[in-house]
Amino acid sequence: MMNLTNLMKLKVYPTMRLANKAGHARFRVRSGFTLIEIMVAVSLFAIVAVIVSGALVTISDVNRKAQAIKIAMDNVSFAMDSMVFNLREGEAHKCSGSSACTNEDNIVFVSTRSKNECLSGFKRYIGYRLQGGRIQTGSLCGTVGSTPTEYKDITSSEVDISKLGFYIPDQLLGAVRVTMIIEGQVPGKTQTNFYLQTTVKKI
C-alpha cells in the first residue's frame, strides 16, 4: 500500500510513473542538456558556419574574376577580329615608314573596302598601333605615304596590352602575309596573362 509521499509524487509527476516487475511504483528522472554540451554544439555549429561562408566567398570571388576575364578577352577578341578583317582587305602594308615589318608595334595600309569614301585621287589609310597599353586605330583620306594622325582606343582599360607585333616576311608577286602577335594581362588580385597570334594572307 502506497504511503502519503508516494501519492504526492504521483500527483506531481503523473507522466513519470512506472511499474517494475514486482508491481511497485518507481520513477525515472528526466535529464536535459548540460551547459557544456550546449557550448560544444554551438561551437561546432559556428565552426561549420565559418567554413561554409568562407567557401561561398571564395566561389563568389572566383566567379567574379572569371566574368571579368571573359569580358576582357571578348574585348580583345573583337579588336583582333576587326584588325584581321581590315588587314585581309588591305594593300600596301607598311610599318614605321617601311614595307618591312619585323616585330613592329604599328602598321599602316590602304583599305580596299572604302574606295568611294575619299575624293578622287585619295585613298583611305588605316593604321594600328600600341599606345599606353591600349591598341589604337586611326584612318584618313590621303595620298601615297600618308599616315593617320588621330587614333582612338579599340581595347578597354580592363586589359593591359604589353606587346603588339606585326611581321611581314615577304611580299613576292603581290602576296602579303601579315603575322600579328598580341600579348597582355588582365589586371586583378591574380594577374591573368594571355598570348594571341594569327596570320592574315592577302593575295
pLDDT digit string, tens, across residues 95-117: 876 767 888 899 999 888 766 67
* End-to-end CA, the chain: 119
Residue-wise pLDDT for 12-58, tens only, equals: 444 444 555 555 555 555 566 788 888 888 888 888 888 888 888 88
pLDDT score recorded for residue 128? 94
Distance of CA 98 to the CA centre of its chain: 38
179: helix, strand or coil? strand
3-state secondary structure of 29: coil
Q: In residues, how long is the chain?
A: 203
Candidates 137, 140, 166; CA nearest to 153 is: 137
